[in-house]
Amino acid sequence: MKKIICGTLIAAAMFGSVSCEEWLDVNTNPNGPDQVVDPHLYLAPMLSELAIALQNDGRYIGKYTSNFFSAAQDVTWDRHGYASASDAAATLWRSTYYTMGLNLRDMILKAEEQQKWEFVGIGHALQAYNWQMTTDQHGEIIMSEAFDPTKSSFNYDKQEVIYAEVKRLAELAIADFAKAKANPHPNPMSKDADLIYAGDISKWEKFAYGLLAINANHLSNKSNYEPDKVVEYVDKALASNADDAAIKFLGTNTANSSFFGPSRGNIGSAGINLRQSKFIVGLLDGTNPALRDVEYEKVTVPNSNPPRDTVRVKLVANLPVPKTKDPVAAFNTQHLKDPRIAAMLAPAGDGQYRGIGFSGTGEYTTTTQRPLNLWGTASDVTSATTVGKYLFQNNASFPIMTYAQLQFIKAEALYRSNKKAEALVAYKNGVEKHMDFTRTFLTTAEERTAFDSRKAAYMTNPWLIPTNTEPSTTPEGFPIPYLTLSHIMLQKYIAQWGWGFLETWSDLRRYHYFDKYDEASRTNVPGNPVTVGSDLNLNDNVFTAFQINPTMFGVNGGMPAYRIRPRYNSEYLWNAEALRQIGGFDAAFHTYETWFSKKN
């Protein structure tokens, strides 16, 4: 891993927006007692670095999760592969160990010396968050020996050890915030430095509880899973959209714009060229089998003796017939659209919403049918006037935890506890509050009117927002809609699209991409992989209609990705022996299942 301390101190010198003289004197030891750096000088650059790391790596992980794919067919990440001898998808690793690294620890130590307990708590919360995200991305990581300056090689810790440390640090952060409330510093200087909560420690406390909920809920496949504890944590966490944790960007120039913004060009660069996937379009346009309202019909089973009837989805031209049609004139012959579609996704040139699969935009031979990019433009070359869409704007704050996300975590935990009526309340709350979040991105009265019309229809549609929790039928034998785990997990997928890449990937891995949920045992069981051309109407996997490229990356042995390989330029070049001990030199190491997703 090289000498972590060296990279960290160099990064610290690069961080500041103030002058070199104000930030560090290179002739003194920045970690020594002769140099006093106030804690607030560390925080803003580290938060910005965290957002960039999650966004940069999200460009690749988002392909594993089918958030989006490349306009030109990608034979690597779209196929659950990786770029060898490359640091692609390892920016979070670099952030955790280098650019935040010892700077985060220094901030905590200096804040303790000055009794600025809010900074101590924020530091512990961020360290917990970093360990959680980094282990969820890479599996086994270096923690116990990570910042030992006497070492030049570093052993890896097991993931269960990391998970326990995340819990310890989050609880420690909560204790720190209690100290801050009891003994407030007269000049904490956290408001300007805190790009998330502007120094509001009550919100940081809720953030720590939210992290505890995420940490505990990832253990859903373990015998010691405690869904009631997950619910307890969520109830102490973010209380509304106003508590959402999002890192702010000014967006006035390239330097202070979001990594996803058009001025940075990072999601339209050569080899990336991202376009929304068919999967997310299906979830929002009313065609995914788990989130749609269709007509049913009763037909006689052919050649049955004696004759008998069966109920099935009504098809015309082999397509399901929508029961509730969209209220917007341009779509009024189609399925009811989720109101979020206009805020989140970009239509094609002809105004229709489409996504791409594993072959890029080339599957659409008519140019106007090809989806626009995530900025909502046809060209990946942007100008100073390009505004962007949704989270892909220069000044768009980047979420790292949201109220809606936690409501779906609560709903899942309640559902798995067989407390389905309570799960339904959390589910409905998550959907509605994420709709409120997305509505803020609409800029015209016409867009908001269409949104409100669709929302009214959506929130009262029992197939989308069920009122029942158990399966049943009408006297005629037609199905009555009821809450399923698919409702919860797919709505969580929507709420995290474009930002919650790691949590979405953790969900997919917990359900092994294609698991079904067995109501009797309250556990997930193997389902059937969905391939291109499958009849999606017959799919009952938790992540209904989710597909993986049928042509896997060459070394995968038919297995999907479960982890990102550690950072090449530190681990493979400088920490090889420790990496070899965990199988890191196996070409298929990225398919090794993570501990948290395994059943025990």
**What would the pLDDT profile of 581-596 be if each residue is shown by its tens digit?**
999 999 999 999 999 9
325 in Cβ contact with 285 (< 8 Å): no
Distances (CA, A) of 546 to 109, 536, 539: 46, 9, 9
The encoded tokens of residue 421 equal: 């009526």
User: Sign of torsion, CA 589 590 592 595?
Assistant: positive
Q: What local confidence, expressed as pLDDT, does residue 190 receive? A: 81
Band (537; pLDDT cuts 50, 70, 90) = low
pLDDT tens, residue by residue, 300-320: 988 888 888 999 999 999 899
355 vs 20, higher pLDDT: 355
Q: What is the spatial distance between Cα 122 and Cα 110, in angstroms, rounded to a whole number?
A: 13
The encoded tokens of residue 124 equal: 């512990």
Asked if residue 4 has pLDDT above 50, the reply is no
Q: What local confidence, expressed as pLDDT, does residue 23 receive? A: 39
Q: What is the spatial distance between Cα 566 and Cα 146, in angstroms, rounded to a whole number?
A: 14
Asked if residue 281 has pLDDT above 90, the reply is yes
- H helix intervals, 24-153: 40-64, 91-94, 101-113, 117-138
Band (372; pLDDT cuts 50, 70, 90) = very high
Distances (CA, A) of 329 to 278, 288, 339, 371: 23, 22, 14, 21
The encoded tokens of residue 240 equal: 């509304």
Q: What is the spatial distance between Cα 467 and Cα 300, in angstroms, rounded to a whole number?
A: 30
Band (442; pLDDT cuts 50, 70, 90) = very high
Report the DSSP beta bridge partners of residue 299. Answer: 310
Q: What is the spatial distance between Cα 63 and Cα 167, in angstroms, rounded to a whole number?
A: 29
Asked if residue 511 has pLDDT above 80, the reply is yes
Band (385; pLDDT cuts 50, 70, 90) = confident
Q: What local confidence, expressed as pLDDT, does residue 428 receive? A: 99
Q: What local confidence, expressed as pLDDT, does residue 187 receive? A: 87
Give 250-300 as a DSSP string. --SSGGGS-TTSTTT-TTSSTTT-EEEBHHHHHHHTT-STTS--B-EEEEE
pTM greater than 0.85: yes
Mean pLDDT of 358-371: 95
258 in Cβ contact with 59 (< 8 Å): no
477 in Cβ contact with 299 (< 8 Å): no
14 vs 378, higher pLDDT: 378
Q: Which amino acid is at 419?
A: K
Least confident segment among 197-211, 414-428, 526-540: 526-540
Omega of the bond leading into 306 within 30 degrees of 0 (cis) = yes
Q: Vertex 100, ends 59 and 176: CA angle to 5°? A: 115
**Among 472, 542, 476, 463, which residue's Cα sits nearest to residue 509?**
542
Delineate the domains of the chain, giving CATH numbers in brackets: 4-196+558-597 (1.25.40.390), 274-499+514-538 (no CATH)
User: Sign of torsion, CA 392 395 399 402?
Assistant: negative
Q: What is the spatial distance between Cα 241 and Cα 181, in angstroms, rounded to a whole number?
A: 23
The encoded tokens of residue 389 equal: 């869409």
Mean pLDDT taken over the chain:
93
Phi, psi (5° rounding) for residue 389? -135, 150
pLDDT tens, residue by residue, 49-98: 999 999 999 999 999 999 999 999 888 999 999 999 999 999 999 999 99
Q: Is 286 left (phi over 0), alpha (psi -120 to 50) or beta?
A: left
The encoded tokens of residue 202 equal: 């009550």
397 in Cβ contact with 246 (< 8 Å): yes
10 vs 493, higher pLDDT: 493
Q: What local confidence, expressed as pLDDT, does residue 24 receive? A: 41
Q: What is the spatial distance between Cα 580 and Cα 561, in angstroms, rounded to a whole number?
A: 19
Band (538; pLDDT cuts 50, 70, 90) = low
Q: What is the spatial distance between Cα 527 and Cα 414, in angstroms, rounded to a whole number?
A: 22
Q: What is the spatial distance between Cα 199 and Cα 185, in angstroms, rounded to a whole number?
A: 12
66 C-beta neighbours (distance < 10 Å), count:
26
Phi, psi (5° rounding) for residue 247? -90, 125
Q: What local confidence, expressed as pLDDT, does residue 338 receive? A: 99
pLDDT tens, residue by residue, 227-272: 999 999 999 999 999 999 999 999 999 999 999 999 999 999 888 9
Band (37; pLDDT cuts 50, 70, 90) = confident
Running DSSP on this structure, what letter comes out for residue 17? S
Band (529; pLDDT cuts 50, 70, 90) = confident
**Among 576, 564, 572, which residue's Cα sits nearest to residue 140?**
564
Which helix (H) or strand (E) segment holds residue 420: the answer is: helix 420-439
The rounded percent of the chain whose pLDDT value lies above 70 is 93
344 in Cβ contact with 497 (< 8 Å): yes
The rounded percent of the chain whose pLDDT value lies above 90 is 86
Q: What local confidence, expressed as pLDDT, does residue 528 receive? A: 85
Cβ-based burial of 340 (10 A; exposed 0-12, middle 13-18, buried ≥19):
buried
Which helix (H) or strand (E) segment holds residue 311: the answer is: strand 309-313
Q: What is the spatial distance between Cα 159 and Cα 142, in angstroms, rounded to a whole number?
A: 10
Q: What local confidence, expressed as pLDDT, does residue 36 receive? A: 56
**Among 372, 282, 293, which residue's Cα sits nearest to residue 327?**
293
Q: What is the spatial distance between Cα 411 and Cα 415, in angstroms, rounded to a whole number?
A: 6
The encoded tokens of residue 517 equal: 């949920």
Running DSSP on this structure, what letter comes out for residue 96? I
The encoded tokens of residue 155 equal: 């052993």
Q: What is the spatial distance between Cα 33 and Cα 459, in angstroms, rounded to a whole number?
A: 60
Q: What local confidence, expressed as pLDDT, does residue 9 receive? A: 35
pLDDT tens, residue by residue, 445-488: 999 999 999 999 999 999 999 999 999 999 999 999 999 999 99
530 Cα distance to chain centroid: 22
Asked if residue 361 has pLDDT above 70, the reply is yes
Q: What is the spatial distance between Cα 401 and Cα 237, in angstroms, rounded to a whole number?
A: 10
Q: What local confidence, expressed as pLDDT, does residue 454 receive? A: 99
